[in-house]
Structure 1
Amino acid sequence: MKLMKTEDAVGQVLCHDITQIIRGEKKGPVFRKGHVIREEDIPVLLSVGKDHVYIWENNENTLHENEAAEILYDLCRNDYMHSTAVKEGKIELVSDIDGLLKVDREKLNAVNALGEMMIATRHGNFPVKKGDHLAGTRIIPLVIEKEKMERARRAAPGGKILTVLPFHHKKAGIVTTGNEVYYGRIQDTFTDVVQGKLSEFDVEIIGHEVCSDDHEMITGAIRKLLDAGADMIFCTGGMSVDPDDRTPLAIKNTGARIVTYGAPVLPGAMFLLAYYGEKHIPVCGLPGCVMYNKRTVFDLVLPRLMADEILEKRDLDVLGEGGLCLNCGTCTFPNCGFGK
């Protein structure tokens, strides 16, 4: 770009928007970038304080901000998302579906570290809905060196900084455990809570088994639901370290692979995650806090299971920072720090 005296700029192409502010009436662009300056435009430009304007001139070593913004968009985009129109070197990405947002933090940080460009995203590992804005990208200066954008490509090889994993229809089974419920001493209030959580997604509950604390009975109930075609199973009734809490043993005895028994999340420290068989069917042991706390580890894990993400222990280990729910008087989850 080239700085030119406004009176001498007739016939030149603006390389940035010119904003006009009239108190109580207007604030917005009076001329858009790409506008060819006419003789009658000169007084207007002078009235908004533009004694000089930047005009576009071709340079084989630089890119206009809008061209460079397209490169940032290409580095971010993946399936199930689209872009907004480029404006002042800025492009936003919008989700085409309901799903789970994943962010490649290593690539994101590498691009942002280059300077003169930025990508700002929502938090990864949380649900998004169709039409939600996922990220915004922007080139900071009006023009940028081509070599700088090549460095951005190298910093994020293969692109795909953002991914939206679609949610899937699931068939769920619920196993309620505990002598107190099985023998009718108290009413089961846990199952309703789990059903409520599952109703936020496309889940069909195909079975509900009520068991005593007998671990063989619990194992049999889990296997019955697996045989019935369950894609996921949730064992309720609490997951404690008490000797008479046999649910972890029962889950293990199904042959499921225990990923973790415990998570650095409060509420939810006693959460158990296991996977059964070659299809990696999740079998979860839900701690009692899920029944009486509004948000728990279950809210952090369930969306990822719905997107068929196979979680490993390290995926839960990193939840410690942000893993403390503050039990706010008015819950704003997920628009808060919990799980982030």
Structure 2
Amino acid sequence: MKSVNIEEAVGQVLCHDITQIIKDVKKDVVFKKGHVIKKEDIPVFLSVGKEHIYIWEKQDGMLHENEAADILYSICKNEYMKPSAVKEGKIEVISEIDGLFKVDKEKLYEVNSIGDMMIATRHGNTIVRKGDKLAGTRVIPLVIEEEKMKKAQEIGGGKPILKIMPLKHKKIGIVTTGSEVFHGRIKDAFGPVIVSKFSEFDSEVIGQTIVDDEREEITAAIIKFIENGSDIVVCTGGMSVDPDDRTPGAIKDTGAEIVSYGAPVLPGAMLLVSYYSYQGRKIPVIGLPGCVMYSKRTIFDLILPRLMADDILNKSDIDKLGQGGLCLNCETCTYPNCGFGKGM
């Protein structure tokens, strides 16, 4: 690549895009890479401040920004994704489906630490819709060492750093505990909230069972829902540490593997996550704290998309929610377009 005075560049091939910016009017490419420069183009080049332009001269060991951008996209791409057209060394990654977006944060950091290149993504473990922008890639200089791009590819190790997990249709069973509800002393207010939350996804609530505060009854209700085809069982009520709150023990009595009882999230600290093994599948059995009934957004909103995509949660996943795990209870809620649940 060499620099040429624009008056002497007629007939030469432009090696990079030229962008024109007019405040509040236009920001777009006026000449694309590969354009053969004509005499009548000269005033336009001068109007955008280009008295000299770069003509591409292929050099061993160096890559043009657009070639390098293709490599960055190859590091990101996975199933259910497509690229935008390359433009000024940039490629955007677009979702082809609705799903749960995942990011390998460690590999992303390593690539961005190399220098002269970047990948910017939206937050992982969030819902994306078909057509959403997932990430943008760019090579900073006009040309970059091929060795640097090879280093970036090695970080990926042949595995994409981005992933979309398709959302699944789920059948939901709700087990509601509490003598006050069971005996009709108060009306259940938890069930409608759970139904509303699941209505945001492709799901069907196949039933709600209201039981007294007896561990055996709670355990039996959970297992019955699973045997009747529930993909997720949600338990409401009896989730605190009071002696007469029996739900955590009842979930354990099913034989389910307890992943975590407690989460570094407010509202939602008393969440219980477990999995019941049934016919080769892991069925989530979730104990929801009372805050889910009356707080607009809670820990349940953070884990629900992952449950709907069969993203198996482990204790580390729950522990990492601490940073960003404080809901500010804003007067006007903008979730998910806020910091709640979005740690580093």
Quote how far apart the aligned CAs of 1:24 are: 7.4
Tell me the secondary structure at the aligned position of residue 318 of structure 1: helix
Quote how far apart the aligned CAs of 1:44 are: 3.1
- Given that 1:266 and 1:325 are in contact with CA atoms closer than 8 Å, whether structure 2 keeps it comes out as yes
How far apart are the structure 2 equivalents of 1:24 and 1:237? 55
Question: How has the CA–CA distance of structure 1 residues 27 and 274 changed in structure 2, closer, same or farther, with 3 Å as cutoff?
Answer: closer
How many residue pairs were aligned?
340
Given the alignment of the two structures, is residue 98 of structure 1 paired with residue 92 of structure 2, yes or no?
A: no
Given the alignment of the two structures, is residue 229 of structure 1 paired with residue 229 of structure 2, yes or no?
A: yes
Give the stretch that moved more between structures: 154-163 or 81-90. Answer: 154-163
Q: Deviations over 1:260-317 (max 9, x none)?
A: 1101100000000111014110000000000000111101111111111111111101
Q: How does 1:48-87 map to 2 (within 5 A)?
A: 48-87=48-87
- The residue aligned with 2:3 is 3
Quote how far apart the aligned CAs of 1:27 are: 4.8
Question: How has the CA–CA distance of structure 1 residues 44 and 252 changed in structure 2, closer, same or farther, with 3 Å as cutoff?
Answer: closer
How far apart are the structure 2 equivalents of 1:47 and 1:135? 32
How far apart are the structure 2 equivalents of 1:28 and 1:170? 45
Quote how far apart the aligned CAs of 1:68 are: 0.5
- The residue aligned with 1:302 is 304
Quote how far apart the aligned CAs of 1:53 are: 1.0
- The residue aligned with 2:273 is 273
Quote how far apart the aligned CAs of 1:204 are: 1.3
- The residue aligned with 1:259 is 259
Question: How has the CA–CA distance of structure 1 residues 270 and 22 changed in structure 2, closer, same or farther, with 3 Å as cutoff?
Answer: closer
Tell me the secondary structure at the aligned position of residue 322 of structure 2: coil
How far apart are the structure 1 equivalents of 2:13 and 2:282? 59
Q: Deviations over 1:80-133 (max 9, x none)?
A: 110111000000011111110010111100100011100000110111111111
- The residue aligned with 2:175 is 175
TM-score between both structures, scaled by the size of structure 2: 0.96
How far apart are the structure 2 equivalents of 1:175 and 1:156? 44
Tell me the secondary structure at the aligned position of residue 154 of structure 1: helix
Q: How does 1:168-207 map to 2 (within 5 A)?
A: 168-207=168-207
Runs of 4+ in 1 over 6 A off after TM superposition: none
- The residue aligned with 2:319 is 317
Question: How has the CA–CA distance of structure 1 residues 4 and 293 changed in structure 2, closer, same or farther, with 3 Å as cutoff?
Answer: same
| Aligned-partner residue type, residue 323 of structure 1 | G
Given the alignment of the two structures, is residue 142 of structure 1 paired with residue 142 of structure 2, yes or no?
A: yes
How far apart are the structure 1 equivalents of 2:78 and 2:138? 18
- Given that 1:117 and 1:138 are in contact with CA atoms closer than 8 Å, whether structure 2 keeps it comes out as yes
- The residue aligned with 2:164 is 164
- The residue aligned with 1:129 is 129
- The residue aligned with 2:330 is 328
- The residue aligned with 1:12 is 12
Q: How does 1:206-245 map to 2 (within 5 A)?
A: 206-245=206-245
Q: Which runs of 5+ in 2 are unaligned?
A: none
What is the percent sequence identity of the aligned residues? 66
How far apart are the structure 2 equivalents of 1:129 and 1:29? 28
Aligned-residue Cα RMSD (Å) equals: 1.4
| Aligned-partner residue type, residue 135 of structure 1 | A
TM-score between both structures, scaled by the size of structure 1: 0.97
Quote how far apart the aligned CAs of 1:229 are: 1.1
Question: How has the CA–CA distance of structure 1 residues 318 and 6 changed in structure 2, closer, same or farther, with 3 Å as cutoff?
Answer: same
Tell me the secondary structure at the aligned position of residue 281 of structure 2: coil
Quote how far apart the aligned CAs of 1:20 are: 3.8
| Aligned-partner residue type, residue 93 of structure 2 | L
How far apart are the structure 1 equivalents of 2:208 and 2:142? 61
Tell me the secondary structure at the aligned position of residue 110 of structure 2: helix
| Aligned-partner residue type, residue 167 of structure 1 | L
| Aligned-partner residue type, residue 209 of structure 1 | T
Give the stretch that moved more between structures: 13-22 or 156-165. Answer: 13-22
Q: Deviations over 1:195-225 (max 9, x none)?
A: 0001111111112100011111111111111
- Given that 1:74 and 1:159 are in contact with CA atoms closer than 8 Å, whether structure 2 keeps it comes out as no
Question: How has the CA–CA distance of structure 1 residues 132 and 238 changed in structure 2, closer, same or farther, with 3 Å as cutoff?
Answer: farther
How far apart are the structure 1 equivalents of 2:138 and 2:169? 37
Q: Deviations over 1:148-169 (max 9, x none)?
A: 1111111221141100000111
How far apart are the structure 2 equivalents of 1:53 and 1:247? 71
How far apart are the structure 2 equivalents of 1:150 and 1:121? 21
